[in-house]
Chains A and B, each alone.
Chain A
Amino acid sequence: MQRRPASIALLAFFLVTVGLFCLFAPNFATTSNFENLMSGFSFVAILAMGQSFPILLRGIDLSIGAMVALAGMVAFDLTMLFHVPGYLILPLVLIAATGAGAINGILIVYLRLQPFIATLATLAAYRGVVYAISGRLLIPKLATTPITDPWIVGIETYFDIGGALGISDYVHLPWFPLSFFLMIAIFITFQLLLLSTKLGRDIYTVGGNQEAARLAGINTRRITIFTYAISGFCAGVAALVLVARLTTSTEALGTGMELTAISAAVIGGVSLQGGIGSMFGPVIGAFLLGVVLIGLTLLGASQYVQQILTGAILLAAVCYDRYLVVQRQRRAAANVGANT
């Protein structure tokens, strides 16, 4: 069910791109490169999945970059300033990030702000909070001290699946980073949520036809707040992955990430019209961006060219999405005709 030509086309495009780079980019088809891809872009995929929820409701969340920084700094402060054990930090960070996301939703629902404006305001405000609570600025020594808490740093662990299965003699598998499995876990959870729970169906309903949802007795306000909270939650997970990878957090963490996440979600076929899209698309979208960036770097293309190409892919994705809509309308019109 929910099978759409868009996802298949996207997957095909992704595979072709990977194939081309494997053929032409030196050192692309190596296990270490795929490790890099997985560890470098899993968190982007997580953010893109989070961003997809507001977009499914015809909203947008511009504040995820600031929320990543906020969550990162909360983790930093808890461990470096307050020496809270890691097993407590992880849930606390996620609660903080989810709360920040929920605040976005509350502003949108109860103050009736447009999502763009509400999250534009919190984009500034959360970044301000990051500077305000930054333990690095408070105690400069901490700026050069890495985080060592095993619970946090442990997120940056690699698993030798091939070795564990005893097949490494036959196939050379990359080691999989934990962040990749986190991403997969979130993917499965969200996909399950969207496709197999009432809540998920309600999200699609509200996004697809808010009036119908209201008439069907769905609490649209609660759903709206929930989607922005999810976006915040994903920012929290991404922040933990980043903090583990960097062994610190910076005030500027996450700058501009909202645009990357929106791009990945839109490339992944999540429609700005609301109610259309799954979690599969954003994940592929994020890794497509990753493949292109890494592949072009290996080919020695200027990074400026990469920016142009990223924009072009984004444009192509919306064009294709638009093309599908037009096709659908044509078919619907033809159907009506056939029945009159």
Chain B
Amino acid sequence: MNEAHLIDAQGLGKTYGSLAVLIDANFTVSAGEIRALVGSNGAGKSTLIKILTGAIAPTTGTVKVDGKELVLGSPTEMINSGIACIYQHSNLAPAMTVLDNIFLGRQPTKRFGLLDRKRQRREAEELLQRHAIQIDLDALVSTLPTVKQKEVEILKALALNARILLMDEPTGWLAASDVAKLHATIRTLKSSGVAIVYISHMLDEIFAVCDTVTVMRDGRIISEGKVADITRPSLVKLMVGEKLAKDSAQAGKFKRMARGTGKVRLSANGLTKRGVFSDISFDLFAGEIFCITGLIGSKRTEFLHTLFGSDRFDSGELKVDGKVISFKSPTQAISNGMGFVTEDRHREGLMLGLSISNNLVMATLRKFHKFGLLKRKEIYSATGEMITDLNIQPPDPIKPVRLLSGGNQQKVLLGKWLNLKPKFLLLDEPTVGVDVGAKAEIYAILRAERDKGAAILVVSSDLEEVMTISDRIAVMVSGRLVAIHDADKTTLAEIIGEIGGAAR
């Protein structure tokens, strides 16, 4: 830590409108260092990464590499300075070969811009050899399994001769054996003087491979130190903060309603989708909040879609109110009183160009028309009420949702399903990218719905959230439910252990 810093970021801040997602972050990494960057969802990690890759420009602050100050907000500048990133989402051109993807945008050339194919292949093969990765360079990326695609992404970053490598949940999609291999690769890189920023929820991985750790919370860097100096519980405590303790205490004030009213609303029995999840069994009771937690890639989202009818399971039995049923389409699920707050509100949830009001009635239009005619007065009053109830800001029904903050967008998405007066409410990561205030509001809404007797199923990776709102907690690892606890009879440590440790 005493050597000259390879990367030196000072005073970074980023605000969207009134929402500050990153506040005065000072972040330095030295050559040959593997730095873990941890924090719960919405802590500001992604924003920091985006600034370092040039995807966005910060509102304040500077970044220096090797003492040279960089122009921020330009991907090219960042790449040229030796910063490379492996994203959670694929950044490959699917119709091109592995070889081309490794050198995407920077293939070696001879005169006249002709590709130096031989050199490209040679360099790629050297790369493969150096990192002991086996892959068919001539295969089209679109034909590769996802894990292999991840390797291509890693190779792509490595091929940039990156001196600073950012890895955003690099093992999210990898099997255990591949994780070990990746860690070996990372150590090779470290010995050649590359600085690595390793972002992961997997505490095991952090203790296995990282030298130092930076903890972020609520948009701020709150702690930095050597991994060797820290214990797992104290790290967890740093991540979730005093606030969790406070919230947990607060949550204690709320009655935990494990098994709710005692009436089984939905019963899953051995649900299996080949290659995705298997043998999932649980009962969901009316009047409880049931949380499924786990890592990204543990197939929770896919599971919700099969419940909702937007995807199918292969075997097993689903009972809804005692009747065996499998929804063939969302339409059917909705008419049975099921609502689904999807994870990606931009891609699957909202119509960003439409108004708040239109979005609020989007899932429940059948309630708002008579003889095919819209009952506009009722829409007007219902959406007006909903906006007030959910405290959507600004309370302007004709405002396009695109112009709202993340938290208010999420409330609109939630409100869309509340209009249904749902008997079942599925929520997938309901507070991603939502500020603290809105989070609390959303939790209150969920509790209110629970108390009205709805059966609520929440999928969340945010442990703070899970501990705050759940009545019962299930842990999902690689497509299996490994444990189900009553919330007041378990501890955070136990859950973290089951998520990160026990499985691997």
A residues with CB within 8 A of B: 1-2, 192, 195-202, 204-205, 207-209, 211-218, 275-276, 328, 331-340
**Once the chains are docked, how many angstroms separate the CA of A205 from the CA of B276?**
30
Structural contact, B106 and A333, CB atoms closer than 8 A: no
**Once the chains are docked, how many angstroms separate the CA of A196 from the CA of B111?**
12
B residues with CB within 8 A of A: 53-55, 75-76, 79-80, 85, 90-97, 100, 103-107, 109, 112-115, 117, 138, 142-147, 175, 274-276, 299, 478-479
Structural contact, B146 and A275, CB atoms closer than 8 A: no
Q: Which A residues lie within 8 Å of B274 (CB)?
A: 337
**Once the chains are docked, how many angstroms separate the CA of A119 from the CA of B100?**
31
**Once the chains are docked, how many angstroms separate the CA of A139 from the CA of B95?**
53
Structural contact, A201 and B96, CB atoms closer than 8 A: yes
Least Cβ distance of A205 to chain B in Å?
A: 5
Interface of B is mostly: loop
Structural contact, B92 and A209, CB atoms closer than 8 A: yes
Task: Using known A-B contacts A332-B143, A335-B144, determine if residue A340 contacts B95 with beta carbons closer than 8 Å.
Answer: no
Residue pairs across A and B with Cβ atoms less than 8 A apart, 18 shown, are: A196-B114, A200-B115, A204-B96, A207-B93, A208-B93, A209-B91, A209-B92, A209-B93, A209-B94, A211-B91, A212-B92, A215-B75, A216-B104, A275-B94, A332-B145, A336-B145, A336-B275, A340-B478
Of A198, A201, A207, A275, most B-chain CB atoms within 10 Å: A201
Q: Which A residues lie within 8 Å of B90 (CB)?
A: 212
Q: Which A residues lie within 8 Å of B145 (CB)?
A: 332, 335-336, 338-339
**Once the chains are docked, how many angstroms separate the CA of A339 from the CA of B106?**
31
Q: Which B residues lie within 8 Å of A212 (CB)?
A: 90-93, 104
Q: Which A residues lie within 8 Å of B95 (CB)?
A: 204, 208, 275-276
**Once the chains are docked, how many angstroms separate the CA of A29 from the CA of B453?**
79
Knowing that A204-B95, A216-B105 touch, tell me 6 more A-B residue pairs with CB under 8 angstroms. Answer: A205-B105, A211-B91, A217-B76, A218-B105, A335-B146, A340-B276
Least Cβ distance of B178 to chain A in Å?
A: 9
Interface of A is mostly: helix
Q: Which A residues lie within 8 Å of B175 (CB)?
A: 339-340
Structural contact, B91 and A338, CB atoms closer than 8 A: no
Least Cβ distance of A170 to chain B in Å?
A: 39
Structural contact, A275 and B275, CB atoms closer than 8 A: no
Task: Using known A-B contacts A208-B93, A208-B94, A333-B275, determine if residue A198 contacts B478 with beta carbons closer than 8 Å.
Answer: no
Q: Which A residues lie within 8 Å of B80 (CB)?
A: 217
Structural contact, A198 and B113, CB atoms closer than 8 A: yes
Least Cβ distance of A19 to chain B in Å?
A: 31
Least Cβ distance of B182 to chain A in Å?
A: 14
Of B92, B95, B115, B146, most A-chain CB atoms within 10 Å: B95
Structural contact, B143 and A328, CB atoms closer than 8 A: yes
**Once the chains are docked, how many angstroms separate the CA of A276 from the CA of B141?**
12
Structural contact, A340 and B109, CB atoms closer than 8 A: no
Q: Which B residues lie within 8 Å of A208 (CB)?
A: 93-96
Of A195, A207, A217, A333, most B-chain CB atoms within 10 Å: A217
**Once the chains are docked, how many angstroms separate the CA of A215 from the CA of B54?**
8
**Once the chains are docked, how many angstroms separate the CA of A301 from the CA of B86?**
59
Least Cβ distance of B105 to chain A in Å?
A: 3
Structural contact, A337 and B276, CB atoms closer than 8 A: yes
Q: Which residue of A lies closest to B146 (CB)?
A: A336
**Once the chains are docked, how many angstroms separate the CA of A270 from the CA of B275?**
32
Structural contact, B147 and A275, CB atoms closer than 8 A: no
Structural contact, A197 and B76, CB atoms closer than 8 A: no
**Once the chains are docked, how many angstroms separate the CA of A214 from the CA of B143?**
23
Least Cβ distance of B95 to chain A in Å?
A: 4
Least Cβ distance of A201 to chain B in Å?
A: 5
**Once the chains are docked, how many angstroms separate the CA of A199 from the CA of B113?**
7
Structural contact, A217 and B106, CB atoms closer than 8 A: yes
| B104: contacting residue among A1, A2, A197, A205, CB under 8 A | A205
Structural contact, B146 and A214, CB atoms closer than 8 A: no
Structural contact, B109 and A198, CB atoms closer than 8 A: yes
| A2: contacting residue among B75, B97, B478, CB under 8 A | B97
Q: Which residue of B lies closest to A200 (CB)?
A: B115
Structural contact, B113 and A204, CB atoms closer than 8 A: no
Task: Using known A-B contacts A334-B275, A340-B276, determine if residue A198 contacts B93 with beta carbons closer than 8 Å.
Answer: no
Query: Ordered nearest first, which 6 A-B pairs have the shortest CB separation?
Result: A337-B275, A216-B105, A335-B145, A208-B93, A217-B76, A212-B91
Least Cβ distance of B49 to chain A in Å?
A: 12
**Once the chains are docked, how many angstroms separate the CA of A205 from the CA of B106?**
11
Q: Which residue of A lies closest to B76 (CB)?
A: A217
Q: Which A residues lie within 8 Å of B103 (CB)?
A: 201
Structural contact, A213 and B105, CB atoms closer than 8 A: yes
Structural contact, A198 and B115, CB atoms closer than 8 A: yes
Q: Which B residues lie within 8 Å of A1 (CB)?
A: 97, 138
Q: Which residue of A lies closest to B104 (CB)?
A: A216
Structural contact, A215 and B91, CB atoms closer than 8 A: yes
Q: Which residue of B lies closest to A195 (CB)?
A: B115
Q: Which residue of A lies closest to B87 (CB)?
A: A215
Q: Which residue of A lies closest to B273 (CB)?
A: A337
Q: Which residue of B lies closest to A277 (CB)?
A: B95
Q: Which residue of A lies closest to B299 (CB)?
A: A340
Structural contact, B105 and A202, CB atoms closer than 8 A: yes
Task: Using known A-B contacts A201-B115, A339-B175, determine if residue A215 contacts B53 with beta carbons closer than 8 Å.
Answer: yes
Least Cβ distance of A292 to chain B in Å?
A: 28
**Once the chains are docked, how many angstroms separate the CA of A336 from the CA of B479?**
12
**Once the chains are docked, how many angstroms separate the CA of A217 from the CA of B112?**
20
| A201: contacting residue among B55, B100, B299, CB under 8 A | B100
Least Cβ distance of A48 to chain B in Å?
A: 19
Q: Which residue of A lies closest to B153 (CB)?
A: A212
Structural contact, A331 and B143, CB atoms closer than 8 A: yes
Structural contact, B114 and A204, CB atoms closer than 8 A: no
| B55: contacting residue among A202, A215, A340, CB under 8 A | A215
Q: Which residue of A lies closest to B99 (CB)?
A: A1
Q: Which residue of A lies closest to B85 (CB)?
A: A215
Q: Which A residues lie within 8 Å of B92 (CB)?
A: 209, 212
Least Cβ distance of B355 to chain A in Å?
A: 24
Structural contact, B115 and A196, CB atoms closer than 8 A: yes
| A328: contacting residue among B54, B91, B138, B142, CB under 8 A | B142
Q: Which B residues lie within 8 Å of A218 (CB)?
A: 105
Structural contact, A197 and B114, CB atoms closer than 8 A: yes
Of A196, A212, A336, most B-chain CB atoms within 10 Å: A212
Least Cβ distance of A323 to chain B in Å?
A: 15
